[in-house]
Structure 1
Amino acid sequence: MEIPAYYMRGGTSKGVFFLADDLPSDPAERDAVLLRVTGSPDPCGRHADGMGGAGAGMVVLVRASQRPDCDVDYLLGTVATGEPRIDWSGNCADLSAAVGPFAIWRGFVPARDSVTTVRIRQQDSGQVLLAHVPCRNGHPLEDGDFGEEGVPFPAAEIVLDYLAPAIAPPPLCPTGKVVDRLDVPGVGAIEATLVAAGHPTVFVLAAAAGLVGTELPERINGDALLLARLEAIRAQGAVAMGLAPDAHDPPSVPAIALVAPRAGYRCSAGAWIEAERIDVLARILSTGRACHGLSVTAGIALAVAASLPGSVVQRAAAHSGGRTRIGHASGTLSVGAVTALRDGAWVMERAVISRSARRLMSGLAHVPERC
């Protein structure tokens, strides 16, 4: 079996892109084909016989949108390594940057010189975003001078504009407060800002955990007592946000983020980040461990929190106006967020972030007949 496919980079992530109509319509048959394409399951964890990554692989399905105000719908699947399973419930904001160029390459949207806007709907969440893709001579432009942490070569800048739902956007603060007081057993009272935008996150000051905010993941992950205290805070935040009935067995969301005033620091790659390049320091923990970077969705949550008057993040940030420049373990990330107070509740009107993307390969994915 041969299936047209593109292998694309979006941000620092890579995935195999397909037209949804080129795959079997039955979900079980479709997933069996995609598992074979990526080389899963692989007990060695390398996807050696497929196009998956060294860890989890990602596949993206694109089709003409069902909505008149969008050009394409896309669905992202995260392929497990050691078992034959694809999780279609999540999203990768980095790969969202590649959907716009893919839609242009595949003829869903005609390229316009200068910038072509592609209207995208994420099928899993219903989120609508506009991808502003630089184009030249009838196709997406991939070369440029835009640099992003974790990508070794400069490229053309793609601006992603995340739009709020047209009707009744959800409140950003699930408790109705910009700052909550969490009474955490074994820790004490902790001030936190709880935000449901992007990736649901509990924001606390790094100083409240005895940190300065410049620590690298190895320092945080090597302290079992610190991790236990942070998990207790996160669990209490999950209860306050209505994501868990109690703090005994909280789900993987929300994440917890430690924020601090800007300062110079050395990132994981060894480069020195000047304090003047950022507005706020952030270290985020997910699934009980400090992350080596900052995802786009976590960046959106932080930028939203920074815009809320009196929030924990705003207290720490030296905001320069416009986008919030975040100093994380791997480097920097700039995210813009516009919020508004409606009927007594804060809502997100839009979020803006820049990424780059390019085709790594286009052709046919070859799949054995027995898959």
Structure 2
Amino acid sequence: MLWLSRTTHQPHRDNNMKVSALLIICLCLILGTLGKPQFPEQEKDPKFWNTFAQRTLKNALTLQNLNRNKAKNLILFLGDGMGVPTVTAARILKGQLNGEGGEETVLEMDKFPFVSLAKTYNTNAQVPDSAGTATAYLCGVKANEGTVGVSAAAVRSQCNTTKGNEVTSILRWAKDAGKSVGIVTTTRVNHATPSAAYAHSVDRDWYSDNEMPAEALQDGCRDIARQLFENIPNIDVIMGGGRKYMFPKNVSDVEYPNVAKHSGTRKDGRNLVQEWRDRMETQKGHYVWNKKQLLSLNPNNVDYLLGLFEPGDLTYDLERNTDTDPSLTEMVEVAIKILRKNPSGFYLLVEGEFADIDKCTFRPGYKGCLDIICLLSPGPFVSCQNHFNLTQNNGLADSRSFIHIKPSKTKF
């Protein structure tokens, strides 16, 4: 806080300036301390979070008479970084695109009968990242920033803290329960959010072995792309980007053969896509890399699908090549048609990556915000927003997350 004096007497002004300077120094010291929060030792144990969640749910169930029947299917839609300011911006933009003022617009999620807020943070960070928060909502355990699928006992980038601190995701639980499972994302399939569904990595940036330090490889840690195919080898549907992390280093990309940055990155020489195709050849498995291939599939003849539509992340919807790249809606529709064949039901994680308010604010035409509107189109789902960035006018933004639940009347 800066305190200003209205007097013109020089000595007083000098004293006030000294006091103000001291206050600023003290404030900086305090904020510096807050930047390195110390969390209780018990938070490193997944049982702490599981017990806390069960107690919270039990208390909530006593407040009202809810439908407690078991759900057959679950679709979880996630807008990465889509907090309160971002949703407000999307609501206004949608209205203005329809010739209205904007504020009066009603999004589909605004109509949900049940809406709740959940506190979002990493155990070692007040404003969280996608990796730690993905671990929280997919595994039920809060974790350190930059880690996926491991508890807070694991330390970022320290490979030797991985073993014994792995946590289980809802995708694994669903698969073990006999359900079909799928992941659809507009980012890399081995990015922070989707990777928490299947991987256990102390560093979210270990996309392939090319991004890993030699020490981590020597200690036995595996890159996230490998874990996608090895940890839960029978994920029924995988769609998104990240093609280059699956191919040997310098192997040209099928879509951009003359662009070096899109070439394969793997140092171990493995072709993970071909390995997957060989394994799934007799199990109605299909690999596609463009929209035409995807939409030409007959879901009745497909039990396993791997779709990698870009070397890295997919593009914004307005920038998307509609001839070669499928939309999020098209990917989800195909995924559901494949997954719903299982009489035991299915679980599907859908991520709209480009919802962060900074990503749409600092790009011409606010194109990212249109992706948010696409994500909020009608449909039965649970929608979570895992974090958003500090882009409000003054200081810290509210880092809480929405959880929206809309009972499904649709038969899958």
Q: Considering the TM-score relative to the shorter chain, is it more than 0.5?
A: no
Larger fraction in helix:
2
Q: TM-score, normalised by structure 2?
A: 0.24
Larger fraction in strand:
1
| Greater length-normalized contact order (CA 8 Å, ≥ 6 residues apart) | 2
Q: TM-score, normalised by structure 1?
A: 0.26
